[in-house]
Structure 1
Amino acid sequence: MNFPRSIRWKLQLWYGGLLLLLLAGFGFTAYQLESARQLRHIDEELQQRLPMLVDSQRPIPGDRDRRQFRLSTRDALLFDQTGNESFYYVVWLKHGEPVTRSTTAPEDVPQPKAGDPPNRLRGDVRESFLFPGPGDCVLVGRSIAPDLAGLRQFAWWLCAVGVTVFAAGLAGGGWLIIKALRPIQTISAAAQSIATGDLSQRIQTQDTESELGQLATVLNTTFARLEASFSRQSRFTADAAHELRTPLAVILLQSQNGLAADHLTEEQREAFLATQRAAQRMRRLIESLLTLARLDSGELSDNRAPCELNRVAEETVRLLQPLAAEHGASLTTELAPAHCVGNADELAQVVTNLVGNALVHNRSGVSVHVKVLIEDQHAVLTVRDTGQGIAPADISHLFERFYRVEKARTTAGGHTGLGLAITQAIVTAHGGMIVAESRVGEGTVMTVRLPLALRGADST
């Protein structure tokens, strides 16, 4: 799976990002609301204590400008408590000096100014004040360190809940995404099987009313039409090849009879020979078309049995040694035991086509090396030549029917351009794969990989 371009991961990233944003917004809002609630509660407690301080001021008899401060015993208990949540008070009169303060009040409490907000925050201290008369000020405060510690604990609790919800949300979202994309994976798998040649594959779906179910129905209809069209094409190819066999046999017979006649002129003999060569080339083309038609319909590979790929290659190479000598080529082998399940005749045709191409379509003196080995639970056949190589632009078309690499290889020898297409069809029918690698001026390597036979299977 390609991580950056995967739809699944893109949806997961978008979903995770949105969920994280929502959780962060919820946590921030919850923290701010809790902080405001606690601060409002503290302010209410402070405001409740201010009136009793104002009521505790009494004028001094005989002195209109001076007042005395006397707090009742019950009210004094509210300010004499010790601990982190103890309240304190400070009272200023007109001359600006504190007239009285509680024992718990800090020494550096600044006197508020007229027009200041009635509540203020100094570090971890919260204070409220009012001005009962011109120049007079009454202030009540207390430490909010315990409240700040509680808010920190609340923040950590929000983080822990957020991480838990985020992890659970990612897991649940991932499960939902996988379930939602499963029909797309089914469609992709079916399409990939069809692309490799299995036109009988169909997309299995239970919900035909959903959008993906309707898409699967349309694709199944398209695949069925494609299979029917391909079957008609294969039948037409096979029928046409069969029909051409009889007139072609007549042409070959007549040309042979004509060549056997006496008193032929040189011109007549050359005409009969040309006719015979053209008929033989047409016969090879017809046989190739019939082979492809049978491979497309799955008729050829039904008779399979355990066989030794190294022996198949050894016998085939032995038969091709005269062809190598004719082209002045060196044909060598390196064959390790490798058992696979298949049709020995078809596998021999694979070796013949690959080695024959390497010998015929290269210049004289080429070296061709055939190797069989076991690699990654596969029987591997490689045919390596030291010829002129194939251009990169031609490699991708190499297994197409009737395709020839005109600039790099000669078309002499009456070849039909179907050899590699037949080779690929045979390898695919055996559950294997074939890969071509080439560098211009260095040569070409054909690699065939076939599944190994199960242990204990008898070889032929």
Structure 2
Amino acid sequence: MKRWWQRRTLRFRLALWYGLGGTMLMAGFCSAIYLFVARRMARPLDHALRRDLSEIEAHLSVAPNQSLLWDGSPIRYDQRWRHPWVEIWDSHEHLVARLWPLEDSQLDSLPFAPPPGRDNLSIFNVTSNLRLRALSVPMTVPGAPPGWTMRVLRVHQRLDDPLGTLLLIMVIALPVVVSLLVVGGYAITRRWLSPLDEMVHDAEEITAKDLSQRLSVENPNDELGRLATVFNRTLGRLEDSFTALDRFVADAAHELRTPLTTLRSVGEVGLRSSRSAQDYREIIGSMLEEAQRLQFLVERLLKLATAEGGHQPVRREPVRIDQLVATCISELAILAETKNQHLFIDAIECVAQTDPVLFRQALQNIVDNAIKYTPEGGEIRVAVHVGEGMLDVSVTDSGPGIPVEHREKVTERFFRSGDARSRRRGGFGLGLAITHAYMQVLGGDLHYEAANPKGSRFTLTLPTT
């Protein structure tokens, strides 16, 4: 049964649940209407029974010999009874008297004994077309044990009365209404779920070769519209990822092709004719230089893939950031001296819970970039600022800076801005991407802003705990 249910469509299941729920509601509603109408129709009769009871209690009494008296006179059973119908039952549930104008022999059945000791309303079918409504109440008989009961009777209704007609209408109308509910529910769910069919059709058209298509959104405010919107955003992120991956592969292939082509060209030139030992040494030196460049590129790509893939091991420990900055600057100072650049440090004593190796590598990348793009005789300033739960290490150079339209791409792989950051500088455009990935692993971030009056300022933001 469960497997059969799971194979049904969503609109079928919704329509079926709609029909079942409607059936239960309609059945409950019809039952409530029937009981309400029955009670309303019986209310005047119940009042009449109470009036008959008052009349009987005023005129009927039981003699010491348990004979019945009406206004003090013995009741004559040979005459037609013209007063309210009544039965008297003793404490042993034996009928003492039944006073009514009906002939017992002409009835299909007679009322059975009422439950003693409490008021009770009941209905009896004495013939196929005659129904009686009875009110039973306890009565006290002098000299007799308790448990006697008086029951007053009246004609209740005939079987072809309006209540029976109402029941017949409900029995006929209920299947019709349920059928309409099921058909209407199926039509409504089909209409409501039609955007889902369109989404399925649109999704089937989307392939890895063309992620530019999107799901149609009729109403972005309902549940299906919000689902389509979220799916479209996911498709957008996938498209951006595939685009970045394609660009990364193309850029990596281009960067790898250059040293490989150089190696092949140099080797082919060296083999064209006999040369001196000095010439061969120069050729081999050029080939080793390109091989070293190729090895460096591959190592940078591996570092970037490890950091972005979440596989970079992190060993956090208390680190004196001011001391780490000073050590890193002293190691790179020799590079700045070759270009007559001036390094300045503004750092206060501060401690952060971080991985010293990763943070130091990130800082070295930023300082190395600053030295690389700052002209000879320029200045590079490194400052450490401590805030509430965070600290910033900023590196400001006096180089050409980055154009406004390129600033959002500084952390992308193989990105180089114009001539200022060309291959002639010796880079691959991976340093900032690796630095950004390292900072993400450490729970921090990398920010860029233009320096005043010119240059660039890169800031490493790091949590202190």
Instruction: Please state which band the TM-score falls in when normalised by the shorter chain.
Output: 0.3 to 0.5
Larger radius of gyration: 2
Normalised TM-score (structure 2) = 0.43
